[in-house]
Chains A and B, each alone.
Chain A
Amino acid sequence: MLNRRSLLQTGAALAVAGPARGAELERVRVSIIPINDVTPLFVAIERGFFRNEGLLVDTSPSAGGATGIPGLVAGSYDIAYGNVVSTLLAAQQGIELRVIAPGTKIQEARNDHSAIVVRRESGIRSGKDLEGKVVGVNTRNNVIWLYARAWIKATGGNPDRVTYKEIPHPQMEDAIRQKQVDAGYMVVPYVTLATAKPEFEKIAHPYSAVQLGVDVGQYLATASFVQSKPETVAKFVRALRRGIEWYNANLTNPDLLPIISGFTKIEVPLLKTLTLPPAPLVVEPAQMERTTQLMIEHRLLRKPVDVKALVAPMAL
């Protein structure tokens, strides 16, 4: 712990020394996952919203998404995009994090594109049908796994009688086709591509079925960063909100596609087939508390996490 703190302090000291050397803009390093969820951030970069606030945002993608929180603690990043389950797990472990801005939220069922996909001829319809079967998830003990289990339980199955197999998102379609798994929890854009083919079928949208309104992902910083540089965090959140507003007002604007292609490297023609969901402007602690309850129910957490202390006021 001492080591982490001293590392953080060194990092903060270096960051303070940076702009003094004549640079106009303050550099902020942000860890992202190259998926559509962070499009508003890139909108804010492309449209100069951060620059107007005096910030230079440097994004660092982590394809697996596993290095966001460790990178924050190590001082490699100032801000990280992370999913709610990882955040709550880290909070339980005593890592002092703060949720500073909203990221992804399933506000309406029609915007929930992630789905449990099966082979059409499999006959699987519910959690009950999945007992004794294999479900593909990107990572065990994480957000997708949690909501897959919750959905299985909600539809009459015993989630402990289902085997969960880790399959990376891009390989899920092949895994279902080749019967390595009986069902797979797929996300955009992979789910859109797979279910356009006749042999596959969506049977459920676990996020909206289990917890409509769930806050899936957020932007995080360490508590010490929020404390030592409140101005920087405020500027970041302000510019990001402008990015979210522009994104929500331009969901069908073709100008968005090159921005998304720029950080996901997915080609524009493929992006055209996707429907973009609106992004939230605020974090709802009540939704995070419901996620906490689910995590306790499925033995990811031992006791409740103080969500109110975890969410910084500027995220509300």
Chain B
Amino acid sequence: MGQSLAAPAVARATTARSAGSQNPAPRPRRNWAHTRASGFALILVLLALWEASSRLGWVQGQSWPPFSAVLVAAWRGTLGGELSLPLLSTIGRMLAGYAIGCSLGVALGLLLGANRWIRWIVLPVVEMIRPIPIPAIVPPLILFLGIDDALKVFVVALASFFPALINTMAGVLGVDDVLLQTARTFRVGWSRTVLRVVLPATLPAIASGLRVAIGLALVVTVVAEMIAGSAGIGYYIVQMQYALRPDAMYAAVLCLAVTGYVLNRLFLIGEARLMPWMGRG
């Protein structure tokens, strides 16, 4: 991952250097192809196809509005609060569940990685529960947790818990034995070894677990909102579907796409700040 990111950076640096000295002509084209702009260009082409398919009647259907109508609905919904307020409440629930699930996941992951006996006892249970699809357990959970925030925060926490746990545990198991032996040589205690040796060495693995979890958390929050209760962007999407307002429905989907993208970028920025040694190959 880090290596694949590093490669274009090297190419970019080389291009810039050579262009500065002798051959300025090909620089903009090669640069453009190597930047994120090329990815956005594909998005623009796809959106133009969407617009054309609706305007020119390639796709017949009452639930296929042109993209421009979706943009208008997104703009109105964001300004009027009809869309932005549910989105904010969704993000709030998501972050609450994510924080709870990840904290527990990392804590238990450290424990499982550090102790073989606990791992043997707990891991089968984890492997049994982990593959259960969240939408399948929402209806029975309603009986115990109701249909409001408690239910949603719980399922988001559950969904975030497993990637955090599994990655943390794998990270602990992958810690260089030399580090542990060194700690043992210096007679560092168990808890201090976990905190000062194992945890820092495991941070990259934890970070990748947390990043997987944040993508899942958003999806699970929205799915839970679509199934139960009447709050958040998930409910808004279903409501607009039933109200025959597909433009507003797709506007909400668009907002979710942007939210997911922004969350991922923010995560990467935070990761680069807090763990500057990561992503350097």
Contact = CB atoms under 8 A, between A and B. Distances in A.
Contact of A76 (B60, B146, B240, B245): B146
Given A34-B243, A63-B238, A174-B63, 4 more contacts: A66-B227, A71-B146, A168-B242, A174-B62
Interface of A: 3-4, 7, 34-35, 60-64, 66-67, 70-71, 73-77, 168-171, 173-174, 177-178, 189-190, 193, 264-267, 270
A266 B61 CA distance: 18
A74 B144 contact: yes
Nearest to B145: A74
Given A3-B144, A174-B61, A270 B244 contact: yes
B177 to A, nearest CB: 48
A249 B21 CA distance: 86
Interface in B228-281: 228-230, 235, 238-245
Contacts of A193: 62, 244
18 contacts: A7-B143, A34-B239, A35-B242, A60-B147, A62-B229, A63-B238, A64-B238, A67-B139, A67-B142, A70-B139, A70-B147, A73-B143, A74-B142, A74-B144, A173-B62, A178-B60, A265-B243, A266-B245
Contact of A267 (B60, B227, B245): B245
B147 A76 contact: yes
A193 B238 CA distance: 19
Contacts of B60: 177-178
A70 B143 contact: yes
B86 to A, nearest CB: 12
Contacts of A170: 63, 241-242, 244
Nearest to B235: A63
B147 A67 contact: yes
Contacts, number: 91
A67 B241 contact: no
A7 B144 contact: yes
Interface string B116-159: 00000000000000000000000100111111100000000000
B64 to A, nearest CB: 8
A76 B148 contact: yes
Contacts of B235: 61, 63
A240 B60 CA distance: 42
Contacts of A265: 239-240, 243, 245
A306 to B, nearest CB: 24
Contacts of A75: 146
B229 A60 contact: yes
A172 B79 CA distance: 32
B242 to A, nearest CB: 5
B228 A67 contact: yes
B63 A264 contact: no
Contacts of B147: 60, 62, 67, 70-71, 74, 76-77
Nearest to B248: A265
B175 to A, nearest CB: 42
Contacts of A67: 139, 142, 147, 227-229
A104 to B, nearest CB: 17
Contacts of A267: 243, 245
A74 B143 contact: yes
A177 B60 CA distance: 9
A74 B61 CA distance: 39
B25 to A, nearest CB: 51
Nearest to A69: B142
Contacts of A77: 147
Contacts of A4: 143
A264 B142 contact: no
Given A67-B147, A174-B61, A168 B241 contact: yes
Contacts of B244: 170, 189-190, 193, 266, 270
A237 to B, nearest CB: 23
Contacts of A7: 143-144
